[in-house]
Amino acid sequence: MASERDSVPNIIGGFKTRGVGENADNEKATKGYAKYFSENSNETKTLRETGRMDMVNKYYDMVTDFYEYGWGQSFHFAPRFSGESFHESILRHEYVLAHKGRFTPGMKVLDIGCGVGGPMRAIARFSGCKVVGINNNPYQIQRGGYHNHKAGLDDLCSYKQSDFMKMDSVEDGEYDGAYAIEATCHSSDKVGCFSQIFKKLKPGASFVGYEWVMVEGRYQPENPQHKKIKFGIEVGDALPNLDTGAQVLDGLRAAGFEIVESYDVAEQFEARRGTIPWYQPLSGSYTPSGFRATPVGRFITSNLVRLLEKVHLAPKGAYQTSQILEEAAVNLVKGGEQGIFTPCFFFHARKPATGAAAAAAK
């Protein structure tokens, strides 16, 4: 069976058929995005927090086609066991959330910040639950709906266009679970974001996820090199500000959740012999499947995009977008190699059960 990545069209076809220039003014998006990271200062940090939704939408208007071309339909990382393929590791990472959240057929589950729905489709197939994706980017919702229909999963997978900081279109107390995969790092207020999710869940429901965090004990806020890496990750991935794992857990508790468990998946894999770190795909390998992600491969792709832009086969701003993604890749690898950053801080939080539900749980 072909993987989802195998079905992704080449980058030229992607630009021409998926309508980047039609669904979003890419040049305008890249210029608008740049103002949020003109310098590493308190002023631009405040601008990223207050203009978060505009910043994130501009970012995903720019990068969605690049992500699908270079990564697949699941926009996240995963460390690998020896002998496990990239796609197997991505699926396992998603299945773990379905298992930890105890998602089963008949349940209704929220996917917070669902992207184009790769994890949604995997979790729906694996667990049989109905997944409702929350996303405020129209182009990604369009892409996700296309993929759902093509996969024959319209009955299990759907979308609601909404900012996860204000989910007015999502019913309160109606969902049996929720998950977020490397998504709530885009929030400027963890307590506000997690409080919205808390409201949508039934008592006793689980919220599970992977969060991007700076690693306490390793990341030194006053270290100039560490600060540069952190800012480079924020620039390349549209993040208002990266928190630590402890800050994420504090935000969950402040929103009303109980913490069932939490740990850094990357750290667990580090302790196993022969495993492959989450950032390896960005480092690349000089093989037919891994060459695109090598520094040389990224250099060739970047210059190809510049050429395509000049001959009008790629939208204006595409080359600048590729440079933003290059900045992200370089600093993500540095953060991973130095152990100061992880994209897979796992948490399992639960909305407290009440009344009969609490008594039944005892």
Domain ranges of the chain: 14-361
Task: Report whether pLDDT(286) > 60.
Answer: no
**How many other C-beta atoms lie within 10 A of the C-beta of residue 310?**
11
User: In which residue are the tokens 């940090």 written?
Assistant: 45
Q: How far is CA 205 from the centre of its chain?
A: 22
pLDDT band at 298 (very low <50, low <70, confident <90, very high): low
Mean of all residue pLDDT scores within the chain? 85
Give the model confidence (pLDDT) of 234-268 as tens digits: 988 889 999 999 999 999 999 999 999 999 999 99
CATH number of 14-361: 3.40.50.150
Six-digit token string for 316: 């204006």
Residue with the larger pLDDT of the pair 316 and 339: 339
**Which range, of 169-173, 234-238, 281-285, averages the lowest pLDDT?**
281-285
pTM: 0.85
Which residues touch 174 (CB under 8 Å, ≥6 apart)?
108, 200, 202
Give the pLDDT confidence score for residue 59 in this predicted structure: 80
pLDDT band at 232 (very low <50, low <70, confident <90, very high): very high
Residue with the larger pLDDT of the pair 278 and 18: 278
Q: How far is CA 267 from CA 37, 78, 247, 340, in A?
A: 30, 12, 18, 11
User: What's the chain's length in residues?
Assistant: 362
Give the model confidence (pLDDT) of 45-95 as tens digits: 787 877 787 888 878 877 888 788 778 999 999 999 999 999 999 999 999
Q: State the pairing for strand pair 175-181/108-112.
A: parallel
